[in-house]
Chains A and B, each alone.
Chain A
Amino acid sequence: MTIHSARLLDQLGYGETPIHRLDPRAKTLATLGFILIVVSFPKYDVAPLIPLALYPLAFMILGQIPPGVILKRTLAVSPFAVLVGIFNPLFDTEPMVRIAGLSISGGWVSFASILVRFVLTISAALALVATTSFPRICQGLDALKVPRAFIVQMLFLYRYLFVLVEEALRLRRARDLRRFGRRRGLRPRVAASLIGVLFLRTYERAERVYLAMCARGFDGHVRLARRLRFGWRDAAFVTGTVAACLILRLVPVVHWLGRWGESWL
């Protein structure tokens, strides 16, 4: 993920839609529930998983997230899912279904199931990130009693990540401007000194940041204002999402739909 791509995802999180305004705890809990339910489906289920795509889709539509943003990032991490599932067809060769005279082994079906689960869970997680600004996610985690040290660490990382990357880009640009096409021979040494300079600047910045914190009364404890209100909307969102997912998990909706379709034909 390039810096621009990270920044785009980051900026989407500051939108103003009903989904953005939900309490981050509600969104995190609902997404967690969604992921657990998706994962709990039986090994060979493919079709029953499909309706669950409504959750990330609804998130994207109501949160006004361009579908490309989610799709591209899902694809970017898809090799992991392929790697996890690709051996299934090799080990599980028992024929399971026949489609148009072609017999498909259980391995291929479970592989397809893994891919569908992967797309569902990753897109749901991305949709959560794209509709919740990072500070709000941290506020949510703070309210969920995640240790403060972790949260402060993440907040500072987030605050200075872009600053540092920009610093590094400036250094690289300065190097490129005076490299005049020469590449070989120079590289490792120049790279080493760039990294060294970056480290020094970061170190100095850290010191200045620390002094700025002290100037405003920092005493070793970072205090955060609790500003979240878990309202009825948030509660309704969590219970609604989890209930809907549970229904899709426990009731063979797709099966009925298929039967209904058959009777029509």
Chain B
Amino acid sequence: MTTAAIEVVDLAYSYPDGTEALRGVSFSVAEGEAVGLVGPNGAGKSTITWLLSGFLTPARGRAVIEGREVRKATLAEVRRRLGVIFQNPDDQLFMPTLFDDVAFGLLNLGGDSADVEPRVVAALRRVGLESERNRFAGHLSAGQKRLAALAAVLVVGPEVLVLDEPTSDLDPRARRRFIEQTAALSQARLIASHDLEMILDLCPRVLLLDQGRVVADGPSVEILADASLIEPHGLEVPYSLRRDHKHRFRLHGTPHEAEHRKWEG
């Protein structure tokens, strides 16, 4: 049996105020697989990312990254293999220049300056930010910040990536660039987002989470197209999947209807 990149078994967590964020979640992500994590606000998506990266300790169950259970004792090893991209890139890019930021993780792994420089430059080149290496992180655009965060995580060579709302503040062009970069990766990826079009683009498989439970787990195209399944959980069928059935129904009687008929011939 090959080990999964991410293995989550009966994971449960309650916040100190008593909110039950997760009530027994199980799933696994295979090597190289990209899986979307969708659900309404408060479903537990972020809690899963916190538990996987070891910032929270589960009340029950376990999370396993590359065959290593996430525990205090294994934290350093787990974090070397797991790259996390947080929701707010201003929190993620904490060093003043792009170079220093990307170098941060490498230096913590014990690299020395001479060895670090070419690796940092290579990581920046990979996301197309090589020429910006001496710039102040605060001067970068939102799209550049996301790519920089990606480079800062990739530079240490993680085997698993967890991305929390990676496209939330990007304009369409920056979003597209980020999607292309993420699609080209070979790592296992777990992507939590409300951007269902992006999930469709990147993840063949999706996990639907609500009230701390996995409601559905399967092919993205099938799950996200199933209005009767996802609408009770606060989602809506993405536009690209709506064309034939639901969309027409929705349009009926709205001022846009005539307009659309014209376009669709």
Residues of A whose CB lies within 8 Å of any CB of B are 10-11, 14, 133-135, 138, 155-156, 158-159, 162-163, 205, 208-209, 211-219, 223-227
Contacts and interface: CB of A to CB of B under 8 A. Distances in A.
A218 B82 CA distance: 14
Interface of B: 53, 55, 76, 79-80, 82, 84, 86, 88, 90-92, 94-97, 99-100, 103-105, 107-109, 113, 116-117, 120, 134-139, 152-153, 156
Given A216-B153, A225-B117, A225-B120, 16 more contacts: A10-B136, A11-B139, A14-B139, A135-B97, A205-B90, A213-B104, A215-B82, A215-B84, A216-B79, A216-B152, A219-B108, A223-B107, A224-B100, A225-B107, A225-B113, A225-B116
Contacts of B139: 11, 14
Contacts of B91: 205, 208-209, 212
Report, nearest first, the 10 A-B pairs whose CB atoms are least far apart. Answer: A217-B108, A223-B107, A216-B105, A208-B91, A135-B96, A225-B103, A225-B113, A226-B113, A135-B97, A215-B84
A203 to B, nearest CB: 13
Given A216-B156, A218-B108, A224-B107, A156 B80 contact: no
22 contacts: A10-B136, A11-B139, A14-B135, A133-B136, A155-B100, A158-B96, A159-B94, A159-B96, A159-B137, A159-B138, A211-B86, A212-B94, A213-B94, A216-B156, A217-B76, A217-B108, A219-B108, A225-B100, A225-B103, A225-B113, A225-B116, A225-B120
B142 to A, nearest CB: 13
Nearest to A11: B139
A131 B69 CA distance: 50
A162 B93 CA distance: 14
Nearest to A218: B108
Contact of B92 (A134, A158, A212): A212
Nearest to B108: A217
Contacts of B105: 216-217
A14 B136 contact: yes
Given A163-B90, A209-B91, A217 B96 contact: no
Nearest to B106: A225
A218 B79 CA distance: 10
A14 B134 contact: yes
Contacts of A213: 94, 104
Contacts of A10: 136
Contacts of A225: 99-100, 103, 107, 113, 116-117, 120
A219 B108 CA distance: 8
A159 B136 CA distance: 8
A135 B136 CA distance: 8
Residue with the greatest number of chain B CB neighbours at <10 A, chosen from A11, A211, A215: A215
Contacts of B96: 134-135, 138, 155, 158-159
Nearest to B89: A212
Nearest to A138: B96
A94 B232 CA distance: 92
A162 B90 CA distance: 11
B134 to A, nearest CB: 7
A164 B79 CA distance: 29
Given A208-B88, A223-B107, A225-B107, A217 B138 contact: no
Contact of B113 (A138, A211, A227): A227
A219 B117 CA distance: 21
A81 to B, nearest CB: 31
